[in-house]
Copies of this chain bind each other. A is one copy, B any other.
Amino acid sequence: MDIAPLAHSLQTGDRRSLARAITLVESARADHRAQALELLQAVGNGKQALRIGLSGTPGVGKSTFIESFGLLLTGQGKRVAVLAVDPSSARSGGSILGDKTRMERLSRDPLAFIRPSPSQAQMGGVARRTREAVALCEAAGFDIILIETVGVGQSETVVAELCDLFILLLAPAGGDELQGVKRGIMEMADLILVNKADGDLKPAALRTCADYAGALRLLRKRPQDPPGYPKAMTVSALEQDGLETAWAEMQALADWRRAQGHWATRRGQQAQHWFTEELRRGLLAVLEVEPTRGIVAAEGQAVAEGRSTPEAAARQVLALLHRA
């Protein structure tokens, strides 16, 4: 494959080229990998989109939200890309964005680009693939990148280290009903949106919103938050209600962070985070190769059963590796 023309047509904003480029960075083949690095080098990192992470468990109406919110943005002339971080889809063989039929109108919008998550099992791989897809979308001139996650496993951490704003989407809960918010996700949220604030569910949505607003107040303030943030709000993706207000909040928060220098600082920290992650991953890869992998598993079992101590077992494996 000739990389220079692909890089060029991608930078003009051509969606087919963007799709081909993402397929390239997703490939595990060594020759594809080399081409992918060449491509990323060629397109550079001169353009920045607003990266919005969106987390929500199944049933909160995430697809409807992305459809409505995405159309609101494209209606304002913004170019919107939607990516998914979903390591679990590799297990089920499916993709949380499905075949795009769940976002029919947005997927037909010429200003939008929707990319389902690939079938790829390894979390490190998912992180790198998403990070590179984000870079390609920015190079293609998209204004806003929505990065969707179902918030299982470590995917929310990946998204938090990739995005400028993190949105948690919730459904109304009745009374003492548990929302099942994954421990740790609430802490990352810049904005909590309680969806389905329409019809019969509206009172429950308002109550749920008040509960979360209360819970947010119990958390320590972060330096990257202006007074009053993180916020909880109600929206109805179905009735397109509250979405403009939510978008105004996101813009206000992003503008504040840009003005205060938090934006640039955070982007730099995120890049350093991924550098460190890649480095660690490269060094620890030796543990995934046989015979070490089997030895680590056996020693781990011995430790779990109390037949060995963590220190003694680790010493043994390290000694084996240093002899090799």
Interface residues of A (CB under 8 A from B): 37, 40-41, 45, 128, 131, 176, 178-184, 186-187, 211-212, 214-215, 217-222, 268-269, 271-272, 274-284, 286-287, 296, 299-300, 303-306, 309-315, 317-318, 321
Question: In the complex, what residues of B have CB within 8 A of residue A219's CB?
Answer: 178, 181, 183, 186
Expressed in whole angstroms, the minimum distance between the Cβ of A161 and any Cβ of chain B is: 11
Expressed in whole angstroms, the minimum distance between the Cβ of A318 and any Cβ of chain B is: 4
- The answer, among B214, B303, B311, B312, for a CB contact under 8 Å with A272, is B303
Copies of chain A in the complex = 2
CB atoms of A300 and B272 under 8 A apart: yes
Question: In the complex, what residues of B have CB within 8 A of residue A271's CB?
Answer: 303-304, 306, 309-310
In the assembled complex, the Cα of A186 lies from the Cα of B220 at a distance in Å of 11
Q: Knowing A183-B219, A214-B211 touch, does A131 contact B310 (C-beta < 8 A)? A: yes
CB atoms of A37 and B311 under 8 A apart: yes
CB atoms of B279 and A287 under 8 A apart: yes
In the assembled complex, the Cα of A228 lies from the Cα of B113 at a distance in Å of 46
Q: Knowing A45-B306, A274-B310, A310-B275 touch, does A184 contact B181 (C-beta < 8 A)? A: no
Question: In the complex, what residues of B have CB within 8 A of residue A179's CB?
Answer: 218, 220
Question: In the complex, what residues of B have CB within 8 A of residue A131's CB?
Answer: 310
- Among A182, A186, A268, A304, the one with the most B-chain Cβ atoms within 10 Å of its Cβ is A304
**Could you list 11 A-B pairs, sorted by A, with CB under 8 Å?**
A40-B309, A178-B217, A181-B219, A187-B187, A268-B305, A271-B310, A275-B299, A275-B313, A275-B314, A277-B310, A279-B314
- Among A41, A275, A309, the one with the most B-chain Cβ atoms within 10 Å of its Cβ is A275
The 5 closest A-B pairs by CB, nearest first: A278-B314, A183-B187, A274-B310, A268-B304, A275-B310
Question: In the complex, what residues of B have CB within 8 A of residue A306's CB?
Answer: 45, 268, 271
